[in-house]
Chain A
Amino acid sequence: MSHELQKPTGERRKEIAKAIGHKCLVSRRNFLISTGVTTTIMITMNPGTPMAEEVPAQITEFPRKLIAKMSELELDKPFDFSYPDEGEHADSMIVKMGVKAGGGIGEGQDVVAFNYACTHQGGSLYDSYKPDTKSLGACPLHLSTYDLTRHGILISGQAYQSLPQVLLELDGDDIYATGIFGLIFGRKDNLHG
C-alpha cells in the first residue's frame, strides 16, 4: 500500500515532454531515466552451469493481488500500484470516479483500474487523470486521451488500442487485481515479457 512511484508530477511532466520534443529516440534513455521507469525482475536460468544467464522473470497466470481498500479510496483521487508484476510498464492506477463505468466495481460501479502506459508509444499517463471528463491523458508524447468510463477507449489520439484495463474483484473492503484486458505497451505478452 505504500508503494511509491518515482515519477515526476504534472508540471515536471510537461517540462519533460517539452524538453524531449521530438528528438525522442536520441534522448529515449534519458527520458526513461528522468521519468524513473522501473526495473525488471531478473532470475538466473541454469544457475551454476556454463549456460547460466539472467532472463526476465516469468509468471504463468495473472496473480490475484491486493491493491487497495475501498473505504480508503477518495473521489477522483487516483491511487497507484503495480500489476501484474513489478516489471516494465506495470505501473497502474485505480480511481473512484463517482460515475458508473464499464467494468466498475463497488456500489456505484464507479471504481476502475488501468495501466499507465499509453498504448501508442509507451508515454506515461501518470498524474494525468481529469476529474471533469473521467479520462487519462493527454499523453505528453503525442496527446492521446482515454475514456475511463468506457473500458479505456481512445477519446482522441494515436493509440493502437484501448488502455489495458485491470480487472478488479471486491472482497469485503479489499480490492484485488485479477487480470488485464488488453496487451500492455512494450510487451509481447502480458505475463511473459
Chain B
Amino acid sequence: MSTPYYIPDENVPLPPADAEVITTACDYCIVACGYKVYRWPVKGGKNGGAMADQNAFGEDFPVQALGPWVAPNQHNIVLHDGEPHHVVIIPDKAAEAVNVNGDSSLRGGCIAQKCYNPETPTRDRLKSPMMRIYGMLQPVTWDFALDIAAEMAKYVIAKFGANAYGVKSYSYQYIENTYAIRKYALRSVNTANFANHDAPSNVGATPGFRDAGFDNFGPSYQDWKDAETLLICGTDPYETKTIMFTQWIMPAIQGGQKAIFMVPRKTAGVAFAEQNGGLWLDVNPGTDLLLVNAIARVIVENGWQDKEWIEKWVNDKWGSSSGFGQGTRNTPWQWRTTWGKFQTKGFDDWSKWLLGQDEFALDAASEVTGVDAAKIKLAAEMMAKPKEDGSRPKTSIMIEKGFYWSNNTGNTEAIAALGITVGAGGRPGQMIGRAGGHQRGGVSGGSYPRNKSPMKLPGRRRRALDTDTWTVSGHTRMAHVIGTTWIQSMLGSQQLSQRFHELTRGNPHQIQSINRDKILETLKARVDSGGMVIVNQDIYLVDPIGNQFADIIFPAATWGEEDFLRANGERRVRLYQKFYDAPGEAKPDWWIISQLAKKMGFDGYDWETSNDVAEEAAKFTRGSRKDFNMVKIAAHREGKTLHEKFREMGTNGIQAPVYMNADGSLMGTVRLHDTTRKLPADGPTAANMFNKKLTHFNSQTGKCNIQKSPWSLFSDYWEWMKPKGDELWCTSGRANERWQSGFDDTRRPYIVQRWPDNWVEINEDDAAARGIESGDMVLLSNDRVPALKDIILGVEGSDYSFAGQMANGNVELSEASVTAVAIVTRAVKKGVMYMDFLHTSQPANALAGRVVDWISGNYNYKMGVAKVTKIGESPYKHSFRSMSFAPRDIVI
C-alpha cells in the first residue's frame, strides 16, 4: 500500500527513437482506450532526447498541448525476458477509434504505475502459491497447492454434491480466463453455485432490456455523439467512463445536443450539460421508475410518441404472446414472475396502463422522486416533442448502475418502454443501451446448470442460486474465489464477513502441518463439520477473503503479463499484449484453472498458450455480441494464429459481431439492432452467421416488447428501506480517480494523496443540521440492515417478495458501521449521501440490505441508508498535503 506523501518527479526519461512499440488497451473502464507501450533496455542508459530525431515520438520537446507528453506517472521499470526495461505507456496518439488521437483519463493515463516494480508500492504482488499453516500464509510449490486444492474439490463434490463447490469469479478479466473458468465451473464441475463478481447469482444486469429485446451493448460510441437528445440514467460518464464523455458526448453537447442526467449527484459531466442547455433530474434513490413513467406519461398525453416506429417495430397482442416458437411459457418475463404483471397487448394497452397509474401523474411523481414537475415536462419535450417542421428529435438513452441497481427489474422495464416510445433502439443516433462499467471479457465455456438450483419460483422455472445466501446458510463447503472482492462487493457486507469468519477461521479444524495427509485430514474434518475451505486466486492479497480467510492462495498474472483478448462497450475486440514478465511464479488464470482441472481428472484442458484458449473460445462466441469466430477463420486462412491476427489490428481491433466478406476481408458491426443495415442478400456463407440481433431485436419476433413496470412490485421494499427519523440515503458509486476496489489505486502514491481514506459526500443542509464540516471523521451506521437467512422454494405468488420474505420470517436484521471523511458539498442532493462503492475496510455495501430484487435475483446495491454522526476530525481537515474538499461540479 502507498502512503499519501507523494513527491512528484521533475523529469522523465523519454523513449529513444529505436524503442520497441507494443499496442494494448487500458485495463480499466468499459471504454478501453488504445495505448502504446514504448519499451527499451535500462542497460546502456540510452534514453531518448528532446529533439524530434532523438525520441520515439518524432516530436520536439517541450511538446504542445495534446502532444505526446510523458508525465512521470506514465513511466516505469519492469523486467522483460529477465532484464530491466524502461516502459513509457501513453494513449495511442494515432488511435483511429475510441480515444481518437490519444485522449485519456486519469485512470488509464497512469496505467504504467500498474506494472509490478519492487521499488514501488506494487511490491506486494502475489508471487508464489501459499497455504495457511498455523494461521499464517506460507509459500509452497504450485504442485503442492494445486494437489491439495484438487483433492479437496474432489472430496467436497463427491460427498456434498457439485453445489457445495462454489465459484465466485470476475466476469470480465479477459476472454481466455473467463472461458477457462466457466468451462471448469459450469461444464466440468457443473455447479449451480456460481456467480460473477457483481451479482449474488448468475443473472443478467438488465431484465427490462432483455424483455424488450434490447442488447445491453447495442450502440456504438458514434451513436451517443449523434443523438440530439441524450438521456443518461444512473451515471456520469465523465466520472466513470471518461473518454466516452470527453471524446463523444462533450463535443456533441458543444454542438447542441441536449443531455439529460438522471442522478442524485452533480459531477462535472452533469454540470457541463446543465451549463450547455441540458438538464439535471435530481432523483431520489430508488424512485427512477416513477420519474421515467412520469416522463413517458407526459409524452403519451401529448401524443409525442414515435408512431411510425411503434407501428413497425412494437409487438402487438399476437406478437407479444407468440413466445420463441415454443409457446408463451418460454418468454423470459414469464419465467420470472406472476402472469400478466409485465406483458401487454402492445403500445395502446401499455399506454392505457400507464395513464391509469396515479403514481405516474406529474405532481405525484414529482413529490416522491423529488424532481421539479417543470423539469419532468421539459425532459419529455426534449426527448419527444416534434420540432416545428414536424421532424422528431433523435433521442438515445444510456443507463448504468445507479439506475439499474436501484430497482433492477422495475427501472429497466420502465426505461425500455420509454425508449420504445421515443423511437430509440434501432437507428443511428437513436439507440438505447448500457454505458457499461468494466470491459466485456466474458465468454462461457459451459452453460449454467439451472435445473440443479434448489431455488424455484412458484409455478415457474428454477432460478439461479443465490450464492451469498447459500453460503451464509452453510451449504458452500469449498469456495473458489477468483479476482474479486467477495464479501465487500456484496450487500450486508459486514454480516457476510462475520459468517465467512465462522465458517473458515472460526472452525476448529485449521492446518497445522505441511504433511499432505494431515492437511487433507484437517480440511476434510472442517468441511464435514459444516465449515468451508477457501481457495483464492488473485494478483494481490485481498482483505479479508485472501488475507484472513483463504486456506490456499494462487498468484495470478494480469494485464501486460500475458496476451489477452477483450471487448469494450461498443463490442470492439482487441489484443492486450504481453510486454513484461509476471512477478515471481504468478500465472494467468487460464493456466491455473487448466492445471487444477487436469489434477481433478477433467478432459479438455491441454492448452499450451493463451492463444490456444482464445481459439477454442472463439467458436463459443458465435451468435453473441462478441462473435469473433470469423477472425479466427481469417487468421487460419492466412496462416496466422488468432492472436496474431488481432495484433495486426492494433488499437483499432474490430467491432463484433464480425462477418467475413466474399473476398475474405472482415467486416465489423457498428451497432446491433440496426434496422437501417443491409446484409448481403444471398445470406450467410461458409461459417458466417446472421444473428437476429444484427438487424432486429433480441425478442421472440424480432420486434420490441413494450412492457409494464408496476411500482407496486418494488414499493414494499422502498417504503421499508427509505430513511426514517434522522437517517439519510447513503448511496454509492465510483469516483473518477479510483477503479473498482482500488487494488491498483491504493498502490499509486498520487491517487492515495488525493483519496487517502474512505469518504462520504453530504449535502450542505444535511451537514449543518448535524454539526458536520468537511474534513470531519464521521460514523455512518445502520441498525436495521435486512438480510435473507436461507434460500427458499416459492409456493405462494408473493413468497419471493420482500413483504413475503418478511412475513415468512426469512429476513434478519443486523447492524452496520462504516467510518468516512466528510465532504460537505452543494453537489449532492439534500437527503442523499454518496460514498465510494468499494473501500475494502469501510464498504458502502454494508449499509444496504442483502435482499435480492425478487423478480430478477439481482441486488439493489444503491439503496443504502445510514445515520451520520461526527466522531472527530480527520487529519485532512487542517492539513494541505492530501485530499480536497472542493466540489466536483466546477465547470468552465
Contact = CB atoms under 8 A, between A and B. Distances in A.
B66 A150 contact: no
B382 interface: no
Contacts of B250: 21-22, 142-143
Interface of A: 13-14, 17-18, 21-22, 24-26, 28-29, 31-32, 37, 40, 55-56, 87-89, 101-103, 117, 119-124, 128, 130, 133-135, 137-138, 140-143, 145, 147, 149-151, 153-162, 164, 180-190, 192-193
A178 to B, nearest CB: 14
A187 B62 contact: yes
B11 A150 contact: no
A187 B892 contact: no
B892 A142 contact: no
A29 B50 CA distance: 20
B66 A122 contact: yes
B611 interface: no
B722 interface: no
Interface in B1-55: 8-14, 50-51
Nearest to B735: A156
B268 A161 contact: no
Tell me what chain A mostly uses at the interface: helix, strand, loop, or mixed.
loop
B267 to A, nearest CB: 7
A143 B109 contact: no
Q: Give the one of A22, A32, A145 with max B CB within 10 A.
A: A22
B753 A158 contact: no
B10 A182 contact: yes
Contacts of A134: 886
Contacts of B66: 24-25, 28, 31, 121-122, 141
Interface string B791-810: 00000000000000000000
Nearest to B238: A143
Contact of B50 (A22, A140, A161, A193): A193
B246 A138 contact: no
B323 to A, nearest CB: 46
A18 B70 CA distance: 26
A124 B11 CA distance: 21
Interface string B88-117: 000001000000111111100110000000
Contacts of B8: 161-162, 164, 181-183
A150 B104 CA distance: 24
Contact of A158 (B67, B109, B750): B109
A121 B109 CA distance: 10
Contact of A18 (B13, B93, B102, B254): B254
B880 A149 contact: yes
Contacts of A128: 892
A22 B881 contact: no
A158 B884 contact: no
B888 interface: yes
A126 to B, nearest CB: 12
B834 to A, nearest CB: 13
A15 to B, nearest CB: 10
Contact of B71 (A14, A24, A89, A160): A160
Contacts of B251: 21-22
Contact of A22 (B100, B105, B109, B272): B100
B10 A180 contact: yes
Q: Which 4 interchain pairs have the tightest Cβ spacing?
A: A102-B880, A122-B65, A160-B71, A186-B62
Contacts of A155: 884, 886-888, 890
B754 A153 contact: yes
Contact of B890 (A18, A101, A138, A180): A138
Contacts of A31: 65-66
B74 interface: yes
A183 B238 contact: no
A190 B268 contact: no
Given A56-B50, A135-B886, A182-B8, A158 B106 contact: yes
Interface string B249-290: 011001100000000000111001000000000000000000
Given A13-B892, A145-B268, A161 B881 contact: no
Contact of B892 (A102, A140, A161): A140
Contacts of B790: none
A101 B71 contact: no
25 contacts: A32-B65, A37-B64, A101-B880, A103-B880, A117-B65, A121-B66, A122-B67, A124-B65, A128-B892, A134-B886, A142-B242, A142-B246, A143-B269, A145-B888, A147-B884, A149-B880, A156-B267, A156-B268, A158-B104, A159-B106, A160-B750, A161-B8, A188-B14, A190-B10, A193-B50
